Amino acid sequence: MAKIVCVLYEDPVDGYPTSYPRDDVPALSHYPGGQTVPSPKAIDFKPGTLLGSVSGELGLRKFLEGLGHTLIVTSDKDGPNSRLERELPDTDIVISQPFWPAYLTRERIAKAPRLKLAITAGIGSDHVDLQAAIERGITVAEVTFSNSISVSEHAVMMILSLVRNYIPSWQWVGKGGWNIADCVARSYDLEGMNAGVLAAGRIGQAVLRRLAPFDVKLHYTDRHRLSPAMEKELKVTWHPTVESLVQVCDVVSIHCPLHPETEHLFNDTLLAKMKRGSYIVNTARGKICDRDAIVRALKSGQLAGYAGDVWFPQPPPQDHPWRTMPHHGMTPHTSGTSLSAQARYAAGTREILECWFEHRPIRNEYLIVDGGKLAGAGAHSYSPGDATGGSAQAARFKKH
């Protein structure tokens, strides 16, 4: 029998919900492009409930304990005395979400000799040292496409919030004011601007499609260029480098995976090549941007705004400068964990586990590392190497 450690974010401060604003969520059968939604043999939860926090348990306890396995669910993940670290020596499977990631560094993997499978409940497995997983023969899998549209909706919302200066305007209402001039002094129309995405995969394409009705000029760069037919359909201009993209764009939305080639990509040098007063929205990974370079660009006016829901590490320490930098629209990592998305990635996590225990192949599109090499979606999206360095700083979150 296996021991599974599932790391999830904490319950709401007022306790686990006893009711919800809506009675249901739309039921999907396919994603755009035809990929089917997760298809486990059964689920033990109601879609639309809070599954991603500790009490939700991704709806897995009845299933796993019914098979005789041991399930440990915790939010205590950071630092040498965390529950996660204490459980690693005899753990077979670790499940985590990108929003509250269980950083599986090389050092932690070395402490887990029985670890054979790391599952990301959602999209993005950079919290696992993929190089160490390759060397150890650990399978890494994630529920691709489960929350791609969720993230794309969040990105478009943030683009509009920055360009229209929504957040400061909302704040004036709470202050009892009617300060129209203050609100509009940084407010523009998105119409006619040049908007680009870094990486035109599932999320990037969804953002392009959702921006098109705003009559913007669309651009993208990607290591895998779209087909001429797709570029024509999307009415999008391809750029061979990220430098050529950012030089023409008023808005850049980041959607590439984090790996050694993209770590700190948006540094002082690249930011200096952007149009003065441009905007960045980052719903990919915080470490794609150089933390302090972003702060400097906002303070100097090189950037007019920066928004996103991804940080490094996660959760960020209380003194992380993105909490207090000017003209930002940061949120906790929430874009891909709406109640709608949770139903899909919880079902996908169960599907992966069913395949694992029944010795059936895991869907190729769910695989990141398998058989000692990048595989499936991982071979398409990642490069060998490690991007988990510095994640131990997450332990500082609760030390203030």
- Which residue ranges form the domains of the chain, and what is each CATH number? 3-145+337-373 (3.40.50.720), 148-330 (3.40.50.720)
H/E element, 142: strand 139-142
- The residue annotated as part of the active site, out of 154, 255, 327, 333, is 333
User: Which pLDDT value is given to residue 290?
Assistant: 98
Any catalytic annotation for residue 327?
no
Amino acid code (one letter) for 332 = P
Any catalytic annotation for residue 314?
yes
- The residue annotated as part of the active site, out of 154, 314, 320, 350, is 314
Any catalytic annotation for residue 147?
yes
d(CA 247, CA 149): 27
Residues β-bridged to residue 141: 119, 367
What is the β-pairing status of strands 303-308 and 70-74? unpaired
Residue pair 367/57 in contact by the 8 Å Cβ criterion:
no
- What's the first-to-final CA gap in the chain, in angstroms? 40
User: Which pLDDT value is given to residue 18?
Assistant: 97
- Surface-to-core class of residue 355, CB atoms within 10 Å of its CB (0-12 exposed, 13-18 middle, 19+ buried): middle
**Cis upstream peptide for 315 (omega within 30°):** yes
User: Which pLDDT value is given to residue 398?
Assistant: 77
d(CA 245, CA 239): 6
d(CA 129, CA 386): 5
- The residue annotated as part of the active site, out of 147, 205, 302, 342, is 147
Determine if the pTM surpasses 0.85: yes
Tens of pLDDT along the chain (400 residues)? 999 999 999 999 999 999 999 999 999 999 999 999 999 999 999 999 999 999 999 999 999 999 999 999 999 999 999 999 999 999 999 999 999 999 999 999 999 999 999 999 999 999 999 999 999 999 999 999 999 999 999 999 999 999 999 999 999 999 999 999 999 999 999 999 999 999 999 999 999 999 999 999 999 999 999 999 999 999 999 999 999 999 999 999 999 999 999 999 999 999 999 999 999 999 999 999 999 999 999 999 999 999 999 999 999 999 999 999 999 999 999 999 999 999 999 999 999 999 999 999 999 999 999 999 999 999 999 999 999 999 999 999 976 4
Any catalytic annotation for residue 359?
no
Closest CA to 105 of 70, 64, 136: 136
**Cis upstream peptide for 316 (omega within 30°):** no
- The residue annotated as part of the active site, out of 259, 285, 327, 363, is 285
